[in-house]
Amino acid sequence: MKSVLIGVVILAFAGGGGLKELTASSHEQDVVSGRVIYSTICIRCHGIDGKGEGQMKFTPPAADLTSAAVQSKLDARLFKSVHDGKSNTAMGAWREVLSDDEIWDVLAYVRTLAPQ
Ligand code: HEC
């Protein structure tokens, strides 16, 4: 009897964290944490205002995160770009550096860069 109870408790713990990360809509995005991540990692290429005027220059250039070309993309698509990177560009895969939660946070910040 005791071992059954322990099993139930472990399952409850294991289930709690994982499921909510599966979809953007159920994720609580934290813009403040996203801004910290952005200014630590992304700013050197994408620039302080997201327009791609960071200190480092590339071919193709860092995307203008304020542009309609980027802002019109779905969350899931932008998540993939940050998670997996974009081949043959300087935009690397951040999945080893950032957790899924952190990617959603930084994307919440990227959304605030859109022109009002
Ligand atoms: C080493 C430079 C570099 C860094 C650091 C970098 N990026 Fe990029 N990023 C790029 C380049 C270059 C592109 C344009 C790729 C292309 O032409 O498709 C890009 C494109 C993008 C796009 C557009 C993707 C799309 O699907 O159109 C997003 C969103 C983005 N970056 C977000 C980020 C975020 C968030 C971070 C920080 C976690 C980050 N980038 C860090 C260079 C960088």
Query: Lowest-pLDDT range, 6-10, 31-35, 67-71?
Result: 6-10
pLDDT on residue 18: 40
In this structure, which residue's CA is closest to atom 12 in ligand 1? 62
Mean of the per-residue pLDDT values of the chain: 84
Q: pLDDT over 90 for what percent of the chain?
A: 70
Cβ 78 under 6 angstroms from ligand 1: yes
Domain ranges of the chain: 27-112
Q: Ligand 1: which of 36, 38, 46 to mutate, judged by most atoms within 8 Å of the beta carbon?
A: 46
Cα–Cα distance list, 77 to 11, 14, 44, 55, 86 (Å)? 32, 28, 22, 26, 11
- Checking if the pLDDT of 32 tops 90, the result is yes
Average pLDDT over residues 30-39: 97
CATH 3.90.550.10 fits 27-112, yes or no: no
Average pLDDT over residues 52-65: 91
CB 94 within 8 Å of CB 41: yes
* Helix extents (H) in the chain: 2-19, 31-37, 43-46, 68-71, 75-84, 100-112
Confidence band for 15, pLDDT divided at 50, 70 and 90: very low
Q: How far, in Å, from the CA of 62 to the mean position of ligand 1?
A: 6
Cβ 86 under 6 angstroms from ligand 1: yes
CA 94 to ligand 1: nearest atom: 38
